[in-house]
Amino acid sequence: MVEVTVTPQSSLADRPVQVLVRGLSPSQLVTLRASLTDEHGECFQARAFFHADGAGEVDPGRHPASGGSYAGVWPMGLFWFLQPDTLFRRLVKRDVAGSPFLVRLEVFDGLRLVTGPQDQPLAACEAQRWYVGPGVQRVPIREGRVRGALYLPP
């Protein structure tokens, strides 16, 4: 049974996570895809193609991607190389304190440049990427023409 995990499952957006796929056949070619929908409903995706190692595992921190959104060993590549489905859109988090970005990670058999609704992943999981830690207080700043926010630790 194929399984994809992200550790830790919930973390701050600037903290590294480990993505691991287990249960594959040795040398199996798979597509690992990350996707998220922003607050405006815009979809962002990144994908990378991997060959499983002899134990049937894929670890982007140890195994090189052979193509897709990037190539080589990039432990956080699926998060760093997210691209919008619509050109010239930017990934911006407006509600930094209220909710995380939910990044869906999926593993597909073979090389998948495009995935449709009929394509079922071998495995999937979700990672929460927060922009403000627990207990942090946000204080809006408005002084003359200056606008900003002060973030105070707990």
Three-class DSSP labels, 2-18: CEEEEECCEEECCCCCE
* Identity of residue 148: G
Which tens digit of pLDDT belongs to each residue from 35-74? 999 999 999 999 999 999 999 999 999 999 999 999 999 9
Cβ proximity of 79 and 47 under 8 Å: no
Share of the chain above pLDDT 70, in %: 100
Which tens digit of pLDDT belongs to each residue from 1-10? 999 999 999 9
pLDDT higher than 90, residue 129: yes
pLDDT higher than 80, residue 117: no
Average pLDDT over residues 107-133: 91
pLDDT higher than 80, residue 116: no
* CA atoms of 9 and 32, how far apart (whole Å): 17
Predicted local confidence at residue 36, as pLDDT: 96
Average pLDDT over residues 147-152: 92
Predicted local confidence at residue 104, as pLDDT: 97
pTM: 0.88
CA dihedral 33, 12, 94, 126 (to 10 degrees): 30
Identify the helix (H) or strand (E) that includes residue 55: none
Residue 79: φ, ψ to 5°: -90, -40
Q: What domains does the chain contain, in order, with CATH numbers?
A: 3-152 (2.60.40.2240)
Average pLDDT over residues 93-117: 90
Share of the chain above pLDDT 90, in %: 86
* CA atoms of 30 and 32, how far apart (whole Å): 6
Predicted local confidence at residue 94, as pLDDT: 86
Predicted local confidence at residue 115, as pLDDT: 76
Residue found by looking up tokens 């990670």 in the block: 105
Predicted local confidence at residue 130, as pLDDT: 95
| Neighbour count for residue 86 (Cβ, 10 Å) | 8
